[in-house]
Structure formats: C-alpha cells, structure tokens
Structure 1
Amino acid sequence: MKEFFTIGEISKLFDINKKTLRYYDEIGLFKPSFVNKDNNYRYYTLDQFQYLETIKYLKELGLSLEKIKYNLNNVNLEEVINSLEEQSNIIDEKISELQFIKKKINNKIIQIKESTRDDLLDIIREVNFDERQAIRLKNSIKTDYDIEFCLRKLIQMSGGKIFLTYGLVGVSISKDDLISGNFDEYKSIFVIIEEEKYDKSLMKIFPKGTYVCIRFKGIHKDAPPYYEKLVNYIRKQGYEILDESLEMELTDPSLSLTDEEVIMELQILVKKS
C-alpha cells in the first residue's frame, strides 16, 4: 500500500487545486504530514484523507474556512451542530432572496413581452389597476439629464436598494399641469417597487382605480402630443383627473435600446362621472 502522496496526487484524488492545498497549508487548515527540506515537496499520508474529505464537505455546505478550522480544531458535536444550523439559516435567507429576485425577473419578462404588442400602440384604453407603491423623488425635471441625475439621487436616497433592472422607472406631471395643459415639465421621478421596505418619506402610493392610458413608440420628449390626446379624451368623457400622471418606459432601459425600440406608456387616474 502506498504510504505517501504528493500534493499533485492529492489534488487529483480530491479534485482540489494545488494552489488551494498550498493555501490550506499556509493558514494551518490542512498541513502536509511532512515537507522535504531539500526540495520543499509536500507529502501527505492516508490517515489524512478523512480530514480533507471533511473539509471539502463542510466547504460545500457553505461554511467559511475560518469556521471549518475552528470546528476541526475543537472537535465538539454541539459546536458542529450549531455551525450547521447557522449555515442552514443563511441558506434559507438566500433561497428567499433568490425566489424574490426570480419573481421580479418573471414579472419583467411578462412586462417586456406585453409591451411589444403592436395592437396596443397609439390607442386610448381605460385600464383598472390595483394599488401600486413606488419610491419617489419630487423635483423639477425638464431634460433627459435631469431624469438621469434625479434617478441617481433617488437610488442614493434609497440606500442603493433599488434594482432598475426589475422595477418600472417613470416620471410624473402634476395634476394641476395636466388640467392646464402644461406637459413640458415633470414634477417627480419614481420607481415602482414590490415588497421592499423604504423610508416612508420616499413612498408614493398610486391608488387603485381606472387609468386612461396610451402607449407609443418614442422617448420622453415625444410624450406631449399623447398627453394632449389623453386629456382631450378625459374631457370628452366627462371624467375628472384625480392624480399626477405616470409616464413609464415599458421596455427595459438597461437593454440600451434605440429610440425606435423604446415603448412608453402614459397613465392618468380618473374618476368617472
């Protein structure tokens, strides 16, 4: 039976990089049985195999090398159980986070697919929406530069928790400006959120109700004629404007689309007579 094993042989037997084995030696986690002083070659023995297998097992469970070293140097079943229970809780938290992210991704897929429907372009629709919550920054916005600057400011104010890849980004024209026909200045910027928690001072609730909507290909500067169409429609129907507008880019801005591919939607909450 073979008595000694080189670092290369151990690397192949356990599928562990030689550089990793050297690092384990350096930090005192897994040292060779002896080192040849003439050539500094590391040699391991058969009775070390189970020890290394245990390190691999605990590492695959997600324990840090520091915690693995502590557990192996203080062989105590109670300590091992505590470490594994702690790691199990961490994994549960990660699973919840990933499930939440997956939900957002699926919502984004549905949103992008639905936004590309040509039959919904340039027509006025009345759509019933449930209550939606957003994180919002009130600020005068007149240019694309203002939009980008305010969006970065909003992200900063939120503690960097907003993920623009998943949330709908929009700007708003005030109720008074909608009524008076002033469509060239936005009064706030927002990001639709789902279940996240933010400072209440940043929150905006878009109420449940009927929204008069229109969808078009273009960017923010192309929006004024569509606002005019919506407001004229609202007046003809005898409806009352109840809140600020929602002007949202339905296609994901992170995809770096050309202006011709961008789909915008305007929504105005109304009260029917």
Structure 2
Amino acid sequence: MKNKFSIGQMSKLHNIPVKTLRYYDEIDLFKPIEVNPENGYRYYSIEQFKLLDIINYLKVLGVPLADIKKQTSNRDINELIDTLQEHKRITEQKIQELEMAKKKLEARIDEFKTAKYIEDINVPFIKTIPERKIIQLKETISSFFELELSLRKLKQQYHHLASIFIGKVGLTISENNFQRESFLEYSSIFLILEEVERSKLIEEIDFAILPQGTYACIFFRGGHSDAPAYFHVLNDFIKENDYKIKGDFIIRTIIDEFISKNQEEFLAEIQVLIE
C-alpha cells in the first residue's frame, strides 16, 4: 500500500492527533479516501497532504472550521480573500484587547509596587495631581450595603467601558458632611478611568473630571471605618497651613483584605483639592 496511509501514520506525519482526524472525518472536512468495511480502518493518500496542509494553515490563523470547510469545498479565491480579510479584522481587534490588558496590568503592578514602599504613612502631605477622568454616580451612601449596590449600578451603566478593581474605586464626601464630621456618609461613588479606557469614551459618554491641581493628602493603614481619625489629621494640617478647601474630599482603598492577608499592608488614601 505505497499510496495508502493509516490514520496513525497521518497523525505522525502531520503532527495531528488521531482524534482530530476522526473529527475532521465526522464533519466532512477531511475524509479518508478509503474505509475498510470490515474493521473501519481509515486510509489516506499522498494527494491529500496538500489539502491537510491548507486546513492546518487556516486553522492556525484562527479561521473557524466551518469557514475552512466552506473554502475547501468551494475553492473560490474571492471567498478566501473575504474570509482572510474578516479574520484579519478579528485578529487586529484581539491585539487591541491584549494591548489594553497589558497596559492595565502595568498600571496595577506600578501602583501596588509603589503602595508597598510608601514610608510617610499617617503624615499629611501636598502633591500635584493631573486631571483624572471618572465615571460617577451621585447618591447618598452611608453603609457598606449601599456602597456595593451603588457600585453595581455604576458598573451596569458602564459595563462595556470600565472594569471594577480596587484602587480605581473612589468615594466623595461633601465639604458640608466633612464640616459636620459625617465621615462615613458619602455623596458619590466613582471609577477612575485608565488611559486605555479613556480612549474609548471620547465619543460615547460625558464623563466627570477630578481637576488637576494641588491636593492635600494622607495615606493610612486601614479601610473606610478607620478613616475618621485621619480626616481630623488632614483637617488640622489644612488649617495649620492656611489652605482653602476647594471641593469634595476623596477617599479610595488601595490595598484591602482581598489583596493581602496582612493587615499591616492595608492602605487607603484621602485627598482634597486646595489652594
């Protein structure tokens, strides 16, 4: 049987699993030239090698088997061009998605590395922060239950645009609530948009902005329930230096129990725009 190859031989010659060749037969994509009626053994010819090469090539390019079957059946050059152009478009879209994922990973890695080595914990300081674009939901939030529900509302509204991750979620406290020392009553919740997300929003929605400017800030170990003491520390710092508050206070958690089991690594930050 000089020009007959068993399914096992085809598998070794083309580095394709036997079960894959059987499946190709079942879906009429690549059928043997002969099947022994007594034992069901499949046999292929050398003339089929080129066809299998084409199938493998298109499969590696990500072309679905249904499209490959259509092409190998019709053998129409125009259909092949259309198919390849469509999968080129799909591939380019996947590349963009992977680039976006890479940039998000880089941003999270940089923030966590920085957070691990912050030395001035519990000490107020001044820093200039560039403009930040956010998507925001303005409503009163006074419990963890309400916080999570509000966050889900925000996510449902913009689910295709931004992802929820610790460090990106912030809460605002109005100056009025701050003066009343209602430090656990928030006036809004927001998601900070990363650069790769902002690029998608230009023509899609009206986002809010945290303005560029000078901010009085404080890092502390803990979460929202620990924040009141640090609001006082920050307020004393603002008064001592004759700064004027220009907007809502912002609080965001950077590291919590879902990121680290070590409570000594928990980190949150309070910010407020000043002049």
TM norm. shorter chain > 0.5: yes
Contact kept? 1:34, 1:44, Cα under 8 Å: yes
One-letter amino acid of the structure 1 residue matched with residue 205 of structure 2: K
Of residues 100-109 and 112-121 in structure 1, the stretch that sits farther from structure 2 once superposed is 112-121
Q: Which residue of 2 aligns with 1:218?
A: 222
Contact kept? 2:137, 2:150, Cα under 8 Å: yes
Distance (whole Å) between structure 1 residues aligned to residue 205 and residue 145 of structure 2? 27
Unpaired segments ≥5 residues, structure 2: none
Q: 1:17 to 1:256 in 2, by over 3 A?
A: farther
How far residue 166 of structure 1 moved from its aligned partner, in angstroms, is 7.7
Contact kept? 1:213, 1:265, Cα under 8 Å: yes
| 1:163-222 C-alpha deviation (Å, 9 max, x unpaired) | 234861122212321233321211222111122429636x32111111110001101100
One-letter amino acid of the structure 1 residue matched with residue 27 of structure 2: I
Q: Which residue of 1 aligns with 2:191?
A: 191
How far residue 263 of structure 1 moved from its aligned partner, in angstroms, is 0.7
| 1:44-88 C-alpha deviation (Å, 9 max, x unpaired) | 111111101110001111111111111112212232222222222
One-letter amino acid of the structure 1 residue matched with residue 254 of structure 2: L
Contact kept? 2:222, 2:256, Cα under 8 Å: no
Q: How many residues are treated as equivalent by the alignment?
A: 270
SS at match of 1:150: helix
Q: 1:92 to 1:29 in 2, by over 3 A?
A: same
Distance (whole Å) between structure 2 residues aligned to residue 177 and residue 45 of structure 1? 82
One-letter amino acid of the structure 2 residue matched with residue 207 of structure 1: P
Of residues 252-261 and 170-179 in structure 1, the stretch that sits farther from structure 2 once superposed is 252-261
Contact kept? 1:171, 1:248, Cα under 8 Å: yes
Of residues 48-57 and 137-146 in structure 1, the stretch that sits farther from structure 2 once superposed is 137-146
Q: 1:209 to 1:230 in 2, by over 3 A?
A: same
Distance (whole Å) between structure 1 residues aligned to residue 120 and residue 248 of structure 2? 23
How far residue 254 of structure 1 moved from its aligned partner, in angstroms, is 5.0
Distance (whole Å) between structure 2 residues aligned to residue 248 and residue 58 of structure 1? 48
Distance (whole Å) between structure 2 residues aligned to residue 180 and residue 235 of structure 1? 16
SS at match of 1:200: coil
Distance (whole Å) between structure 1 residues aligned to residue 140 and residue 74 of structure 2? 62
Distance (whole Å) between structure 2 residues aligned to residue 232 and residue 263 of structure 1? 21
One-letter amino acid of the structure 1 residue matched with residue 252 of structure 2: M
Which of 249, 255, 260 aligns to 1:251? It is: 255
How far residue 144 of structure 1 moved from its aligned partner, in angstroms, is 2.6
Contact kept? 1:179, 1:231, Cα under 8 Å: no
| 1:207-263 C-alpha deviation (Å, 9 max, x unpaired) | 111111000110110001111111222223222222222211223775354443211
Q: 1:119 to 1:159 in 2, by over 3 A?
A: closer
Of residues 54-63 and 118-127 in structure 1, the stretch that sits farther from structure 2 once superposed is 118-127
| 1:121-172 C-alpha deviation (Å, 9 max, x unpaired) | 1111111111101122223222333322322232222235432348611222
Scaled by the length of structure 2, what TM-score is found?
A: 0.89
Q: 1:58 to 1:167 in 2, by over 3 A?
A: farther
Distance (whole Å) between structure 1 residues aligned to residue 161 and residue 26 of structure 2? 38
Scaled by the length of structure 1, what TM-score is found?
A: 0.90
Distance (whole Å) between structure 2 residues aligned to residue 75 and residue 146 of structure 1? 60
The 5-angstrom pairing of residues 120-199 of structure 1 reads 120-159=120-159, 161-165=161-165, 168-194=168-194, 195=198, 196-197=200-201
Contact kept? 1:108, 1:166, Cα under 8 Å: no
Identity %: 39
Contact kept? 1:135, 1:191, Cα under 8 Å: yes
Q: 1:256 to 1:119 in 2, by over 3 A?
A: closer
Distance (whole Å) between structure 2 residues aligned to residue 149 and residue 256 of structure 1? 24
State whether structure 2 residue 208 is matched by structure 1 residue 200: no
State whether structure 2 residue 255 is matched by structure 1 residue 227: no
Q: Which residue of 2 aligns with 1:62?
A: 62
Contact kept? 1:219, 1:259, Cα under 8 Å: no
